[in-house]
Structure 1
């Protein structure tokens, strides 16, 4: 039980701004093992957002509530996934070859496509959360961060690392496998089942899109990077929200 709690805390510290203890992850294997707990980190974030929605909706109209929720999520995750989204978009829409795309991902500067992707995704989230800012849809606020982290777990566990040299995402991709994928999938499935048909449909959509992403990045780059894992979280959240909204 202590080992499981430690893995969850490692995942929480890596994926969010919340800190429990320095050097909690002693080895790269510890980081990889924490992938199985990413959906639970998503549930933690979803709980904060659902609570924030209750408070904000009493004070502000739905558009402002949606904006504040998106801002809160970006702060809670220290923009980690948004950074990955921007770098991935710049690389994907460039006309470079494989090595050129990987070089673009390492560049900290944000290009035109990266900026456009950020504007699109953040704007879409604000619109979707505005539409879902009512009590009957609050379970979606609880679950959409779960679907985004499930996308990360699935992508990492089924992919190879694209770079020859090391990188932030290497231990997650190289060392994670079925022992991390199964618990992440089970947690996501159980939580989605509790949310009913809209939530199950959202999980299915995110799962299929993530599998397609694994195939696409294997074809384009030979695998994934840490930036791609971050982008998969953002795309997974948006697809989950879109699918759930379609059922209301």
Structure 2
């Protein structure tokens, strides 16, 4: 499927290139601007449809793997499980943290121009940065986002399932909040002395969107200070960081160019 998607984007670029190379040709011997626009758009649309189908198929596999991890934990609590990371976040940010795709560049006659979207959801980048060595799992509704594998649980048992997951996870990756369930999760990490294996994420500033990340962070920083969690001041580049003893700031890396590979390096810098 990857090869087919790349082929569609290549054809979209080739149509534009042929038009540019034949602009001075006699009528009927080249590709007109309108024909180039239609042809390029058609191949781009087909590529995006196939890529979307591929991402949804990948997400279904991630959801199934996450369900299997929890099922194994419940069936044999003391048995080892494959390494995984738990993603904790306020539900209010799901689907709303779209970041600029730094790989989006080039000109219309280049394949890269079509192959990369201008913006990407942050969770999708995070899951790609950890894959395949460390699957990212989260409690939630399967299909609600592309990123962490979702595990559907009822309201009556989600706290118990949360405890199982954070206890067995290799790492906990968290966008903190001082509100609702996410604040309770932060309090549990403090009470159970699990801050040492928690990587906190300070989202970078968004070019546009429904969240004022700087204001959000100031509120969270002030709210969690009462729980013994000392978050750093906000920076528009964003950070991944860890907290040491007593919830004190310990180690961090900035997110100057947000992509899967650069985020992977930043994460490696704080967990090494």
TM-score between both structures, scaled by the size of structure 2: 0.29
TM-score between both structures, scaled by the size of structure 1: 0.31
Answer with 1 or 2: which has the greater Rg. Answer: 2
The structure richer in helix per residue is 1
